[in-house]
Amino acid sequence: MASVVEPGSVDEVATLLRDASRDGLAVIPRGGGTKLDWGRPPRRADLVLSTVRLDRVLEHAWGDMTATVEAGCTVARLQHALAEHGQRLACDPLWPERATIGGILAANDNGPLRARFGALRDLIIGVTLVLADGTVAKSGGKVVKNVAGYDLPKLATGSFGTLAVITQAVFRLHPLPHETRTLTFTAPRLEPLCELALAIQHSQLAFVSLQVRAGRSAEPGLDVGFEGTRAGLDSQQDELLRLAADVARVDPPAAVWRTREELWQGTDPAVVGTFSALPTDVRAFCTELRDACTAPSLDWRAVVQGLGVGHFRLEGATSDTLVTALQRLRAAAERRGGTLVVLRGSEDVKARFDVWGSPGDALPLFQRVKQQLDPGGTLSPGRFVGGL
């Protein structure tokens, strides 16, 4: 069983990693633990490096609209501190009350607000990392434009703890909205909602979030979020209702913009994954999802952001049935230039199905970066693409 260590400073992280690297120990970085089972299981886990004590908001430069925060601070705690000056980190990851800043960066967990404010890679402007040999590396800064040196913030985002331990991050911020409004639409079939989603994206509407919800036993839904003044929201709503004249408007579900979290709830065996597709291919992929789940015991649900990035859940079937469905879905996604990744699933499913899929021509580059930053394979060995 792996031992858990809780360093309280960057220097303590550096010392722990230097000693672990020297002794040949495998180290697994952990924030809130909400996504620790995403991706491949690591080959070894001798130490779990928890960032729970690295939980401070170090600086809120509200005049410059930037904030410096330690990796173990939860997203909710950071947002509460920023809100005191009418600002926010414009992202909406899963489980913000438990998820940490370092964790959402490592997992590249972006929510529906990405449609307006960009992904985490667009919001992070500086980072402090500790490499496997104990070297402390910094990149970026507290200014919004900084182009000197390697772009370590973007490199660390989405690396799943395999390159370095994130200890601090600097973000660009946005103002809190004056008001928000969500409009929700339903239809008996998914097709008109996907067509409406495309029409919205090609219109002049200034939406901040857009998602399509679908499932075997649920009526499809389309949610559109706006921010602004009341007069501006009224104008946006009138224009959207003109576009949506052929579908029914209903009240939004409770916590509508956190419906992704419901995909992690249900019965086992089950698989939760993510996929990417062109916005024009979302309807086709959802059709493939429906067709791949024709077995009576196999249920499915999906929440798809307007940009063509979605999460899905398959549940209630044997491992054989789940693997067969996943193989069909990945082939469909890759045929259209998209991707499919399994985040959560049983050990049996992950042993029989490559959770990441083929990295293509990028694998040699991934391997060189891993060799440069963690040549001994100390950090989360085997968790990432290609067994890195």
Q: Per-residue pLDDT tens for 96-106?
A: 999 999 999 99
Residue 268 pLDDT level (bands cut at 50, 70, 90): confident
- Domain of residue 117, residue span: 3-175
Specify whether 230 is located in the same domain as 284.
no
Specify whether 226 is located in the same domain as 167.
no
Q: Are 282 and 312 in contact (CB under 8 A)?
A: no
Mean pLDDT, the chain, rounded, equals 93
Residue 195 domain flag: yes
CA distance 82 to 75: 11
Residue 357 is encoded by which pair of tokens? 């899929």
Residue 143 is predicted with a pLDDT of 45
What residue ranges in 64-178 does DSSP mark as E strands? Answer: 66-70, 87-88, 124-130, 136-140, 165-172, 174-175
Which range among 48-62, 109-123, 137-151, 283-297 shows the weakest confidence by mean pLDDT? 137-151
> How deeply is 83 buried, as exposed, middle or buried, from its count of CB atoms within 10 A (0-12, 13-18, 19+)?
exposed
Check pLDDT > 60 for residue 144: no
Specify whether 229 is located in the same domain as 334.
no
Residue 297 is encoded by which pair of tokens? 């015991």
Alpha helices in 36-126 (DSSP H): 75-83, 101-107, 114-117, 120-123
Check pLDDT > 80 for residue 142: no
Specify whether 269 is located in the same domain as 205.
no
Residue 205 is encoded by which pair of tokens? 């509407």
Residue 286 is predicted with a pLDDT of 87
Nearest to 169 by CA among 152, 149, 146, 145: 152
Specify whether 169 is located in the same domain as 184.
no
Specify whether 273 is located in the same domain as 158.
no
CA distance 206 to 239: 11
- CATH classification at residue 241: 3.30.70
Q: Are 106 and 161 in contact (CB under 8 A)?
A: yes
Specify whether 168 is located in the same domain as 184.
no
Q: How many distinct structural domains can be found in the chain?
A: 3
pLDDT in tens, 305-361: 977 899 999 998 788 999 999 999 999 999 988 999 999 999 999 999 999 998 888
Residue 383 domain flag: no
Check pLDDT > 70 for residue 148: no
- CATH classification at residue 97: 3.30.465.10
Residue 149 pLDDT level (bands cut at 50, 70, 90): low
Nearest to 104 by CA among 114, 113, 95: 95
CA distance 179 to 102: 29
Task: Tell me the average pLDDT across 60-72.
Answer: 96
